[in-house]
Amino acid sequence: MFRAHVSRERRGGKPPQAFNVHAKAFASGPGPAGNGSGVRLSTLAIESPNRRDFLFLATGAVGAVGAAAVVWPLIDQINPDASTLALSSVEVDTGAIAEGQIVTVKWRGGPVFIRHRTKKEIDEAVNTPLSELKDPQTDQERAPKPEWLIVVGVCTHLGCVPLGHEGPYDGWKCPCHGSIYDTSGRIRSGPAPLNLAVPEYAFLSDTKVKIG
């Protein structure tokens, strides 16, 4: 409040008299300052920034940093923890997956589809013109080894698990809101905005793949 008066006077918006009344009231407290006149005090106060301003700002800044330092752990504690992050890869034997079969494995708490595609399914995926796609991506980018399509089994709309060998493209169909994916896991119709995600994976041998 005291500071507000000072700045107002500096802008010249208010006659100095009003300020003096306030300053007098301030100065009339006990102690040696009580002897000073209002005019003198006001001259003192406008020597700004003064020590009080500095202390006020510095204390506030330290307080803000301190509060942020406490708030961040409170926010961050619900992020995925170390044990969750540690479980981020899985190895799968692909030798047992027959042609045409889709196997669902659990990776990072959710499903991953490993699809051993037939010749027909590969051809359909490869021959789809990119202009027909909502999220254009070639089949080659998504499945470097064409017979193996590995995608995260989570619909990119709201996270349901799509059903395999369903829908007009015989790819996937999401039971929740009707998104349709083709045999490359690319979004073809429905509310989902993106293709089924391709996780990071590597074939360790001809029959072993490491996901994550």
Partner 1 sequence: MSGTSTYVPKSAFARWFESRLPIVGLVHSSFIAYPTPRNLNYFWTFGAILTFMLAAQIVTGVVLAMHYVPNATMAFDSVDHIMRNVNYGWLMRYLHSNGASMFFFAVYFHMFRGIYYGSYKAPREVLWILGVIIYLLMMATAFMGYVLPWGMMSLAGATVITNLFTAIPLVGVSIAHWLWGGFAVGNPTLNRFFALHYLLPFMIVGVVVLHVWALHVAGQNNPDGVEVKNVERDTVAFTPYATIKDVFGLSVFLIVYAWFTFFIPLYLLDPDNSNMANPLVTPSHIVPEWYLLPFYAILRAIPDKLAGVIALFAAIALLAFLPWLDTSPVKSAKYRPLYRFFFWIFVVCCVGLGYLGSQEVSDRGTLVSRILAVGYFGFLLIVLPLLGLIEKTKPIPASIADAVLVKAAPAE
| Among 55, 96, 158, 202, interactor with partner 1 by CB under 8 A | 158
C-alpha separations of 117 from 69, 142, 174, 189, 200 in Å: 52, 13, 19, 21, 19
Residue 129 in the binding site for partner 1 (CB under 8 A): no
- Interaction of residue 84 with partner 1, rule CB under 8 A: yes
Q: Does 153 bind partner 1 (CB under 8 A)?
A: yes
Q: Which is nearer to partner 1, 79 or 131 (CB)?
A: 79
Q: Is 136 in the site for partner 1 (CB under 8 A)?
A: no
Q: Is 157 an interacting residue with respect to partner 1 (CB under 8 A)?
A: yes
Is 165 catalytic? The answer is: no
Binding-residue total with partner 1 (CB under 8 A): 31
78 touches partner 1 by CB under 8 A? yes
Q: Considering the rule CB under 8 A, would residue 106 count as an interface residue with partner 1? A: yes
Q: Is 92 in the site for partner 1 (CB under 8 A)?
A: no
Is 168 a binding residue for partner 1 by CB under 8 A? The answer is: no
Closest CB to partner 1 among residues 25, 87: 87
Taking residue 175's Cβ as centre, other Cβ atoms within 10 Å add up to: 12
Closest approach, Cβ 17 to partner 1, in A, equals: 40
Residue entry with tokens 């307080």: 63
Positions touching partner 1 (CB under 8 A) are: 75, 78-81, 84, 104, 106, 108-111, 153-154, 156-163, 174-178, 190-193
Residues that are catalytic: 177
